[in-house]
């Protein structure tokens, strides 16, 4: 049993090694192929050849859009949890702030009736989300440890309750007729319509690529070093001249901004936003996705976010012994996580540092025997 697992493990690690040692052009070609694949994916002409991958019980293109939103969220949360090591249990709250900002400022059902176009509101949504991140972070990031987890949890609940019961935020009735992103074809038909989810998916995919480039720039700089040093030893980081509070706040703000962007995209696609979209469970799912993929690694977060969202949707429409599997999706999800934590606690695609650490631990255990 263990030998099989070991083989599997070393096999996967070998892939990682090969990637890191492959010539630059090989990596670029593979990366380009992967990107082309994901742009082509929502086309039926393409995905019908992919066997069991498309979801039977749901429009695959719609599912892809949902997945892409989760990926974006996982990339953002990974900055906070994976790099800076701050436990944020209410990340979805920022997503809600982004979505509601768009809803309030664009929808005709809003009390203030500004009816601004979607594109104008996106930067406002991102900005407001960042501000809410800073407001939440300023009092709490000075404290250590579990306070942050509690406060962020409270924040997400607060947003949800406000959405449910404040008349301004319309509760269950929600906001409708939220405008779509702009743009039309030559024949005057809007590019971002109601039925076809592909353009939205492509938009999010493009933004994911841009965000990933940005996050990579940050993590490969003084900023990323500061974040990791805080995660590793906050006291030592301070004594080596890292303004830890400032960089924790930046991690928080950057993560929030990405969630705000995701919320704005969601609202622009959905056309309708109400209080049911923002259950606490979503925060937990994204956190699980980051850890599942390999916290502290951008690729890990992407894969984690993608796989977790996909797994949940994949159960839709499957019946086994008369039981609708979708009803039990979170049970399976939980099981997968438990199995995962037993056999691969560092996540699917761990940060190379993490991988080394867990390898060493295994060695220690073996020596200990």
- Interacting span for another protein (CB under 8 A) from 14-22, 24-32, 99-107, 220-228: 220-228
- Chain centroid to CA 72: how far? 4
Q: Would you say 209 or 236 has its CB closer to another protein? A: 236
Report the residue number, 136 or 215, with the smaller CB distance to another protein.
215
H or E segment and range at residue 323: strand 323-324
- CB of 259 closer than 8 Å to CB of 129: yes
Residue span 166-205 as binding mask against another protein, x where in contact by CB under 8 A, dash where not: ----------------------------------------
Spell 272-283 as b/e; 16+ CB within 10 A means b: ebbbebbeeebb
Q: Which of 357, 362, 363, 364 binds another protein (CB under 8 A)?
A: 357
Q: Kindly provide the b/e burial profile for residues 295-323, where b requires at least 16 CB atoms within 10 angstroms of the residue's own CB.
A: bbbbbbbbbbbbbbbbebbbbeeeeeeee
Told to check if 360 binds another protein by CB under 8 A, we report yes
Among 154, 214, 325, 340, binds another protein (CB under 8 A): 214
Q: Tell me the C-alpha to C-alpha distance, in Å, between residue 116 and each of 106, 120, 132.
A: 5, 7, 21
Q: How far is CA 130 from the centre of its chain?
A: 16
How crowded is the C-beta side of 79, counted as CA atoms within 13 Å? 30
Residue of the chain from 173, 222, 362, 363 that contacts another protein (CB under 8 A): 222
**Residue placing its CB nearer to another protein in the complex, 237 or 265:** 237
Task: Please give the residues from 11 up to 50 whose contact with another protein meets the rule CB under 8 A.
Answer: none
Q: How many residues bind another protein (CB under 8 A)?
A: 30
Rounded least distance, CB 82 to another protein, Å: 12
The 227-266 contact track toward another protein, x by CB under 8 A, reads -xx--xx-xxxxxxxxxx-----x---x------------
What does the alpha-carbon distance between residue 338 and residue 329 come to, in Å, rounded to a whole number? 14
Report the largest interatomic distance among the alpha carbons of the chain, rounded to a whole angstrom. Answer: 73
Binding mask 302-341 for another protein (x = CB under 8 A): ----------------------------------------
Going from the C-alpha of 102 to that of each of 71, 73, 95, 255, the distances in angstroms are 21, 17, 11, 18
Tell me whether residue 203 or residue 254 sits nearer to another protein (CB atom).
254
Stretch in the footprint of another protein (CB under 8 A) among 63-71, 127-135, 163-171, 347-355? 347-355
As measured in angstroms, the least distance from the Cβ of 328 to another protein is: 37
With contacts defined by CB under 8 A, name the span among 47-55, 130-138, 166-174, 217-225 that binds another protein.
217-225
356 binds another protein (CB under 8 A): yes
Smallest distance from the beta carbon of 220 to another protein, in angstroms? Answer: 9
Q: Does 138 bind another protein (CB under 8 A)?
A: no
Listed in sequence order, the DSSP H helices in the chain are: 2-21, 24-40, 44-47, 60-77, 92-106, 118-140, 146-165, 198-219, 222-232, 234-239, 244-270, 280-293, 298-314, 329-343, 352-368
DSSP one-letter string for 183-226: -B-TTS-BSS-SS--HHHHHHHHHHHHHHHHHHHHHHTSHHHHH
- How far apart CA 261 and CA 99 sit, in angstroms, is 8
CB 146 to another protein: min, Å: 22
Q: Which is nearer to another protein, 112 or 239 (CB)?
A: 239
- Point out which residues bind another protein (CB under 8 A): 214, 217-218, 221-223, 225-226, 228-229, 232-233, 235-244, 250, 254, 351, 353-354, 356-357, 360
């Amino acid at each position: 049993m263990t030998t099989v697992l070991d083989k599997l493990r070393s096999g996967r690690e070998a892939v990682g090694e090969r990637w890191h040692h492959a010539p630059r052009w090989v990596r670029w070609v593979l990366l380009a192929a992967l990107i082309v694949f994901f742009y082509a994916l929502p086309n039926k002409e393409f995905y019908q050849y992919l066997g069991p991958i498309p979801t039977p019980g749901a429009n695959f293109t719609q599912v892809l859009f949902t997945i892409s939103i989760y990926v974006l969220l996982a990339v953002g949360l990974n900055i906070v949890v994976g790099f800076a090591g701050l436990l944020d249990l209410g990340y979805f709250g920022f997503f809600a702030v982004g979505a509601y900002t768009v809803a309030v400022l664009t929808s005709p059902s809003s009390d203030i009736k500004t009816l601004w176009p979607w594109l104008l509101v996106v930067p406002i949504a991102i900005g407001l989300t960042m501000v809410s991140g800073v407001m939440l972070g300023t009092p709490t990031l000075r404290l250590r440890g579990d306070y942050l987890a509690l406060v962020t949890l409270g924040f997400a609940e607060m947003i949800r309750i406000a959405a449910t019961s404040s008349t301004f935020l319309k509760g269950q009735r929600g906001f409708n007729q939220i405008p779509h992103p702009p743009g039309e074809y030559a024949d005057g038909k809007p590019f971002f319509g109601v039925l076809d989810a592909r353009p939205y998916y492509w938009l999010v995919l493009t933004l994911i690529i841009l965000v990933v480039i940005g996050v990579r720039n940050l993590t490969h700089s003084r900023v990323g070093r500061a974040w990791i040093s805080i995660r590793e030893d906050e006291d030592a980081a301070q004594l080596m001249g890292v303004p830890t509070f400032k960089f924790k706040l930046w991690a928080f703000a950057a993560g929030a901004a990405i969630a705000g962007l995701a919320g704005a995209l969601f609202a622009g696609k959905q056309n309708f936003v109400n209080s049911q979209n923002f259950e606490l469970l979503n925060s937990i799912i994204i956190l699980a996705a980051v850890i599942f993929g390999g916290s502290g690694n951008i690729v890990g977060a992407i894969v984690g976010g993608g796989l977790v969202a996909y797994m949940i949707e994949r159960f839709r429409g499957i019946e086994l012994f008369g039981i609708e599997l979708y009803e039990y999706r979170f049970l399976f999800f939980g099981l997968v996580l438990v199995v995962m934590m037993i056999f691969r606690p560092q996540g699917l695609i761990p940060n190379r540092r993490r991988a080394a650490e867990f390898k060493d631990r295994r060695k220690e255990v073996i020596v200990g025997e």
